Structure 1
Amino acid sequence: MSNAAKMAHEAAIHEENIPDNKYDTLSLEASYVAQGQANRAQELKHALQTYQHLTLQPFGENDNIRLTALVTLRDESGTTKTFFIGPREGGLKLQLDGEEIMVITAASPLGSQLIGKSVGDDVELGGSCYEIVELC
């Protein structure tokens, strides 16, 4: 990501991209791309540092869901989905022992529903009702 930001920056300042007239915006557009990529690289760097220093919390079956919880939901047909509630960068899908785990944040729609609930409670996901069946 950092290399892409550097390349976009170089493109923005390259002599071939100097505007010929006020309607030539190639250099300006390249600078926007470079800035966006640099910002995203910084966000990812901060997220990585956050996860490197993250302390996983222990959970008992009667505890309420909070940050660092690994939560398994089951729908009426028996299909299960597992989620890890992380501090940043939700949306990442991981594989653990052949099971898919989706990283979500407490600020996400599902995360905000889960925070404070416990095993046996219900949540809605994609128009379906799921029961919280496991918390670790």
Structure 2
Amino acid sequence: MPAFFDKSVVLALIIARLKVDLDLLQRAAQSAYETATHEENIAENKYDTLGLEASYLATGQARRVEEIRQSLVQFQNLSLKAFDEHRGIQVGDLVTLEAENGSQQQLFLGPDAAGLKIQHDDFLVTVITTRAPLGKNLVGKAEGDEIEITINAASQTFSVINAL
């Protein structure tokens, strides 16, 4: 990870992305709700399921809107601290890992929104949480430490190259 990486910039990019995702999903949820409640979609017989299907879609989208809203609040309330070697990697840290094959990845250990990917300069940063095996094993580690995780009986080893 280059020295110019600033985790506050990465945090701002994550918050901006969550705001965009929330806005898009709120509009989609509103549209699904309007479809589900439109008078033309009232079932005329037991085989007419368009309104029911639209209702399921609207309910699922409403749940997803709430999930993103909660993620956004958690990131907005996240207090970033300077990396402390004695505490090791904690939520809010930006980490570069290197796999056994030499490939590197940048990870932001966040409170939520696992799997969210953001572009920062020429780097793709992936948000992970402590609920994932990799995130759980990262907590407390420092530069130079190795992490081994097993997923579906396949073992992978990573080296912590950098932590901010």
TM-score class normalised by the smaller sequence: 0.7 to 0.9
Find the residue that maps to 1:119 and give its secondary structure: coil
Find out whether 1:86 has 2:120 as its counterpart: no
Identity %: 44
Of 67, 72, 97, which aligns to 1:73?
Answer: 97
State the alpha-carbon separation in 2 of the partners of residues 109 and 11 from structure 1. Answer: 40
1:2-31 per-residue CA deviation (whole Å, 9 max, x = no partner) reads 111111111111122111212222111111
Of 104, 129, 133, which aligns to 2:161?
Answer: 133
State the alpha-carbon separation in 1 of the partners of residues 82 and 145 from structure 2. Answer: 19
The root-mean-square deviation of aligned C-alpha atoms, in Å, is 1.8
The aligned counterpart of 2:145 is 121
Uncovered stretches (5+) of structure 2, i.e. residues with no partner: 1-24
Could you tell me which amino acid in structure 2 is paired with residue 130 of structure 1?
Answer: F
Residue correspondences, number: 136
Normalized per residue, the structure richer in helix is 2
**Structure 1, 31-40 or 70-79: larger mean CA deviation:** 70-79
Find out whether 1:98 has 2:122 as its counterpart: yes
Uncovered stretches (5+) of structure 1, i.e. residues with no partner: none
Find out whether 1:5 has 2:33 as its counterpart: no
After the TM superposition, which segments of 4 or more aligned residues of structure 1 sit over 6 Å from their partners? Answer: none
Could you tell me which amino acid in structure 2 is paired with residue 12 of structure 1?
Answer: A
The aligned counterpart of 1:31 is 55
